[in-house]
Amino acid sequence: MAGLTLKNIIKRYGNAEPTLKGINLDIRDGEFLVLVGPSGCGKSTLLRSIAGLESITSGDLYIGDRRVNDVHPKDRDIAMVFQSYALYPHMTIRRNMAFGLEVRKMPKDEIDRLVAEASQMLGLDEYLDKLPKMLSGGQRQRVAMGRAIVRRPKVFLFDEPLSNLDAALRTQMRVEIRRLHKKLKTTIIYVTHDQVEAMTLADRIAVLSGRDKENGTKNAGYLQQVGTPLELFQRPVNKFVAGFIGSPSMNFLDAKIEVRNGKKCVALEGWDAIDLTQECADAVKDGQELCLGIRPQDVILADASHPANMHVKVDVIETLGWECHVHFKYGEHQFLAVIEAQKLADIKEEQEVGLYVAPEVVHLFNHDEHGTAIAHGGGLKGEPKSSNDADPHFTALNEVIASASDEISDAN
């Protein structure tokens, strides 16, 4: 096992602008690091560079203490699992897993032992003598993983390994990957588009930026933030990370700081204003124009104990089951909230409603090119006083994490 150190990694294809523009990252031994970013931002390029399938243009790459820039891929002690699992169609499942070891001239009884161990771990025993075409997508994905596991590498690289599977299988495989990491404790770098995968699997998430509408590729190819899932969720360093982490995405509204009744607040449309926590108030000036970020899960319908601080009109309600995505019109803006279905029973499209946004769930960003964060409300902390006061996002997130852990312990 080993950690990895990436020092100022730059990767340029031909004469084009570099895809990766100076990546610095320390990945701890045994850590599960999830790499996310928009399509085309260079996630696969970074994984392939670490594996040695691409040469890096400049910078230093260490696996453990060893600089591996010039080390051949097969000598890097890394196993990579791709989105397309590319099994050998004419070989049995057993042979697919054993082949890499045979090529390395490992003794036969050692190969048999490693294949048997991986097969047992992944529940593949009954398929060992079958051909890949006789297996389902999820089973084939497990074989691809088995092929990586038997090599006992120092580092696993996963490039969107579950994206070809349906939702139910993805959930099942996600738990299997967690279980695998718990057992093997090998360093993993895992690329995904899936928010739930990223939040539930990662010890830390690294967010890589891609091109954007205003600046093109100017800000693309940089690591924007590396942190635990909750750090990124609660304290994103800029608008890019704030908008990328969390689903549905954070709402952004233009706003202005005003002083009302001697206290600083964020003024919005009409007379609407949201109070600020001390941390936010200390970071802004009266009259300052900025961007206000609010997560859709952090909005509640106003009631007697939560007086309205935003007055909106219902545009479209999308019912998803126990929760709804409610699209509101707010002046010229669209504003999305995730609200429990039962609370919307009396609410119709085109109706005017009051919303309550707590000071603790406010995120403030500069209007600069990077949308740098100014301050965060800090999130709603402590035990909720009643179910109405529960912060719906964290409840939902904790449920996902708890159910994944339950499944893991049930299975063991």
- Report if residue 40 touches ligand ATP, rule: CB under 6 A: yes
Report the first-to-last Cα separation within the chain, whole angstroms. 23
Strand partners, 187: 155
Least separation in angstroms between residue 160's CB and Mg ion is: 6
- Report if residue 119 touches ligand ATP, rule: CB under 6 A: no
86: left (phi over 0), alpha (psi -120 to 50) or beta: left
Q: Which helix (H) or strand (E) holds 293?
A: strand 289-294
- Report if residue 119 touches Mg ion, rule: CB under 5 A: no
43 or 204, CB closer to ligand ATP? 43
CA dist., res. 149 & res. 131, Å (int):
19
DSSP reduced 3-state for 301 = strand
Residue 219 contact among ligand ATP, Mg ion, none, beta carbon within 5 to 8 Å by kind: none
What type of residue is 191? Answer: V
- In the chain, what's the furthest Cα-to-Cα distance? 80
- Report if residue 88 touches ligand ATP, rule: CB under 6 A: no
Q: Interacting stretch for ligand ATP, rule CB under 6 A, among 34-42, 232-240, 251-259, 325-333?
A: 34-42
The whole-angstrom distance between residue 375's C-alpha and the CA centroid of its chain comes to 22
Tokens describing residue 33: 């690091």
Q: Interacting stretch for ligand ATP, rule CB under 6 A, among 41-49, 93-101, 136-144, 181-189?
A: 41-49
How many residues sit in the footprint of Mg ion (CB under 5 A)? 1
CA dist., res. 174 & res. 188, Å (int):
14
- Report if residue 19 touches ligand ATP, rule: CB under 6 A: yes
Q: Are 292 and 327 in contact (CB under 8 A)?
A: no
Q: Interacting stretch for ligand ATP, rule CB under 6 A, among 39-47, 107-115, 171-179, 399-407?
A: 39-47
- Report if residue 44 touches Mg ion, rule: CB under 5 A: yes
Mark out the alpha helices in 52-150 (DSSP H runs).
Answer: 93-103, 108-122, 137-149
Choice from 44, 119, 192, 224 touching ligand ATP (CB under 6 A):
44
205 or 336, CB closer to Mg ion? 205
Least separation in angstroms between residue 85's CB and ligand ATP is: 16
How many residues sit in the footprint of ligand ATP (CB under 6 A)? 10
CA dist., res. 171 & res. 183, Å (int):
19
Choice from 2, 27, 41, 180 touching ligand ATP (CB under 6 A):
41
Q: Interacting stretch for Mg ion, rule CB under 5 A, among 39-47, 180-188, 216-224, 373-381?
A: 39-47
